[in-house]
Amino acid sequence: MKFPFKNVALIGKHKSLEVAAPLLRLADFLADRGLHVMVDSLSAEQLTDNPYPAMSLEEMAVVADLVIVIGGDGTMLNIARTFSPHHVPLIGVNQGRLGFLTDLTPENMLESIDAMLAGEYVTERRLLLSARVLRNEAQVFSGLSFNEVVVHRSQISSMVEFEVRIDGEYLYNQRADGLIVSTPTGSTAYAMSAGGPILHPGLDVLELVPICPHTLSNRPIVVNGSSVLEILMHHTDDIRVRLDSHTSFDMQLHDKIIVTRYAEHAHLLHPVGHSYYHTLREKLQWNQSL
């Protein structure tokens, strides 16, 4: 991670007209401070008379020192998968609904980012997942996820039947609507809705959460972050693997999914005083009186 920051990439929520005004306001603010500002190509299409260079995400990942995302958690998920392999830190400005990953607001972003540009920030490392699908021992699909890797039935059909191994050791066979392999970041997303525990994002662990298991004794389990997870498909009428709701792949009988911790981390920057527990209280409304 480079500091002080010189090249700043701005990325807005895809096809959101509401992003244009705060994005331009932030771009002008950064340019006035002598920073080189670039805007992603899709966001640039929403801007009128954009004076800043428009670049693809892949082009920006090579030259950016810092990425500022204006949008929701869904936008941040996709951006983290693109920029984390290049060690580019991320700041999130929330224009979505929950905002677990995007903790600044359009109202306080200029003041907060000004302090962060001066070095007043805290860095948080978040792990990502690498998923590979093997068919007859040949790789047919691979990708990264920030929240989760999900194996699920893609249409209304019979239950998924699969076998799970951890570090080569047999864990169980299961019939369910699917299985979620989640990072600590994803523990407040789909995994939480399926009954999994909330994990502090600083933990080096993964959680496996069955989706509507046929047997009630099949419960979520938390394993070491360095574990190698293997999921072997035993019944596949209509089965799909999905990464963070952005990427999916249709599977066949006897396909094997291998899920591991990705070698690089996502680096999120927060204002000084940021508290994960405060975020939980606010987003999950734990601070409301009974």
Q: Show which residues are catalytic.
A: 73
Q: What are phi and psi of 274, to 5 degrees?
A: -60, 135
Please give the Cα distance from 234 to 225 (Å, whole number).
Answer: 26
Q: Encoding tokens for residue 224?
A: 């070491």
- Cα–Cα dist 38/60, whole Å: 8
Radius of gyration of the chain, Cα coordinates, nearest whole angstrom: 20
Residue in this structure with the two tokens 């209304």, named with its chain if needed: 156
Number of H helices, E strands in the chain: 7, 17
Q: How many residues make up the chain in this entry?
A: 290
Max distance between CA atoms of the chain, in angstroms, equals 61
How far apart, in whole angstroms, are the C-alpha atoms of residue 216 and residue 34? 59
Q: Which H or E run contains 113?
A: helix 109-117
Instruction: At 114, give phi and psi (nearest 5°).
Output: -60, -45
The dihedral formed by the CA atoms of 104, 125, 73 and 187, expressed in degrees to the nearest 10: -120
